[in-house]
């Protein structure tokens, strides 16, 4: 896979847009059942982002062998430094002064002031650390082995988690699986990692694409209905706000399959391919700083008034500005050699 895969770029761009929406949709009004239904639909629709990021990472990284020297000196170092930087910036932004931030970090007491969206970076670091093991494990996998692995480590746990949540919410029956679910969450990311590699190296036919499309639509609709029922019956919201449930995993897998089917050879116009390649190169930087921009925009009177007048228009405008500002900012920041190394 030496040729750049355009559909990887497209998936990353679509995923970062979903991340931005995911961290701004709560500003949407939900005063009645219709607005709540729309808000729930948006929530379900954008949860695929992190699973897609993990699958694309697996598809790229599992193509070759990696030494532990490379893992620690290159890959982990390149994400730890940005993590430390945004942790400092976020703590300061949350009204700490620099000296207090240092004290809190030394004490390991930044729980309420660490960048909440950066949890994904910890997942990636953990995946980097087990990358050589995973690569050695899958080297001799047959097609059947891949399917069984994905079933055991991804689909089954995500379905059990979903089933447990539904039983407890609607039937008030506990399966006492909370400890089990907590213990298997990382295995699901390994499952996504391997699934991305498997799908990237598998031919996708029209029948599989059609099944993926139907599965995507049906899953999103069912999940939205469940959210509405939960809100109506139990008076609670966002029951399925979890990126490792089957209601998120199926759409993520489906999007990967659909994208590969239509874009395995890229777009007809080379300019479009280059556009997505350039946008894709900015995705990590956008991920690091998008919450800063959203928070700053929401605090401005002009956007506060816009959200009060029409929350949907307000969120759309804020998200578009966030995407444009950070794309331009990251693009030019990457021209600085030391910054390019970490973004």
235: three-class secondary structure by DSSP: coil
* CA-to-CA dists, residue 15 to 3, 45, 49, 178, 312, angstroms: 22, 11, 4, 29, 20
Dihedral class, residue 235 (left if φ above 0, else alpha if ψ from -120 to 50, else beta): left
In this prediction, residue 112 has a pLDDT band, given cuts at 50, 70 and 90, of low
Q: Can you tell me the mean pLDDT for 218-230?
A: 93
282, 334 Cβ separation under 8 angstroms: yes
Q: Are 219 and 247 spatial neighbours (Cβ–Cβ below 8 Å)? A: yes
* pLDDT over 80 at 101, yes or no: no
pLDDT-derived band at 103, boundaries 50, 70, 90: low
Q: What is the pLDDT of residue 36?
A: 87
CA distance 53 to 74: 19
How far is it, in rounded angstroms, from Cα 33 to Cα 278? 41
For 96, counting Cβ atoms within 10 Å of its Cβ (0-12 exposed, 13-18 middle, 19+ buried), the class is: middle
Supply the pLDDT for residue 167: 78
pLDDT at position 174 is 63
pLDDT in tens, 193-212: 999 999 999 999 999 999 99
Give per-residue pLDDT as tens, 302-321.
Answer: 999 999 999 999 999 999 99
> So what's the pLDDT on residue 316?
95
Task: Please say whether the beta carbons of 49 and 19 come within 8 A.
Answer: yes
The pLDDT confidence band at residue 252, using thresholds 50, 70 and 90, is very high
Residues 6+ apart with CB under 8 A from 59: 5, 8, 196, 197, 199, 200, 201
Pick from 153, 161, 154, 155: nearest CA to 239: 161
Instruction: Select from 145, 157, 90 the least CA-distant residue to 119.
Output: 90
Residue 311 neighbours by CB under 8 Å, 6+ apart? 27, 28, 29
The rounded mean pLDDT for the chain is: 87
Percent with pLDDT over 70 in the chain? 90
Closest by CA to 32, choosing from 231, 241, 321, is 231
- Return the SS3 of 238: coil
Long-range contacts of 262-265 (CB under 8 A, 24+ apart): 262/7, 262/209, 263/6, 263/7, 263/10, 264/5, 264/7, 264/204, 265/6
Q: Is 139 exposed, middle or buried (0-12, 13-18, 19+ CB in 10 A)?
A: exposed
Structure confidence at residue 162 (pLDDT):
81
Nearest residue to 22 (alpha-carbon basis) of 119, 143, 132, 133 = 119
Q: pLDDT class for 99, splitting at 50, 70, 90?
A: low
- 284 pLDDT exceeds 60? yes
pTM for the predicted model, two decimal places: 0.91
pLDDT at 154: 87
Q: Once rounded to an integer, what is the mean pLDDT over residues 164-176?
A: 72
Comparing CA positions, the residue from 9, 42, 17, 48 lying closest to residue 27 is 42
List the chain domain ranges.
Answer: 24-267
């Amino acid at each position: 896979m030496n040729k750049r895969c355009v559909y990887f770029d497209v998936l990353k761009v679509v995923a970062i847009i979903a991340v931005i929406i995911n961290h701004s949709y709560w500003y949407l009004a939900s005063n009645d059942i219709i607005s709540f239904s729309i808000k729930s639909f948006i929530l379900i629709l954008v949860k695929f982002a992190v699973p897609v990021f993990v699958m694309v990472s697996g598809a790229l990284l599992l193509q070759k062998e990696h030494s532990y020297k490379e893992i620690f000196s290159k890959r982990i170092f390149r994400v730890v430094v940005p993590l430390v930087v945004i942790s400092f910036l976020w703590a300061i932004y949350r009204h700490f002064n620099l000296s207090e931030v240092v004290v809190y970090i030394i004490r390991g007491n930044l729980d309420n002031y660490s960048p909440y969206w950066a949890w994904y970076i910890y997942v990636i670091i953990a995946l980097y650390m087990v990358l050589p093991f995973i690569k050695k494990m899958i080297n001799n996998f047959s097609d059947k082995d891949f399917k069984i692995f994905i079933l055991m480590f991804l689909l089954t746990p995500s379905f059990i988690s979903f089933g447990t949540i539904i039983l407890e919410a609607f039937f008030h029956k506990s399966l006492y699986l909370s400890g089990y679910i907590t213990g298997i969450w990382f295995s699901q990311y390994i499952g996504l990692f391997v699934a991305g590699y498997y799908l990237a190296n598998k031919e996708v036919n029209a029948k599989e694409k059609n099944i993926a499309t139907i599965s995507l639509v049906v899953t999103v609709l069912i999940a939205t209905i469940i959210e509405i029922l939960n809100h109506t019956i139990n008076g609670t919201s966002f029951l399925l706000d979890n990126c490792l449930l089957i209601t998120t995993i199926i759409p993520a897998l489906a999007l990967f399959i659909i994208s590969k089917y239509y874009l395995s050879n890229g777009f007809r116009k080379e300019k479009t391919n280059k556009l997505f390649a350039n946008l894709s190169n900015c995705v990590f930087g956008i991920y690091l700083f998008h919450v800063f921009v959203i928070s700053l925009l929401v605090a401005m009177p002009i956007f506060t008034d816009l959200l009060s007048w029409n929350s949907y228009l307000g969120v759309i405008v804020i998200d578009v500005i966030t995407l444009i500002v950070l794309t331009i900012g990251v693009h030019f920041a990457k021209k600085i050699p030391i910054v390019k190394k970490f973004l």
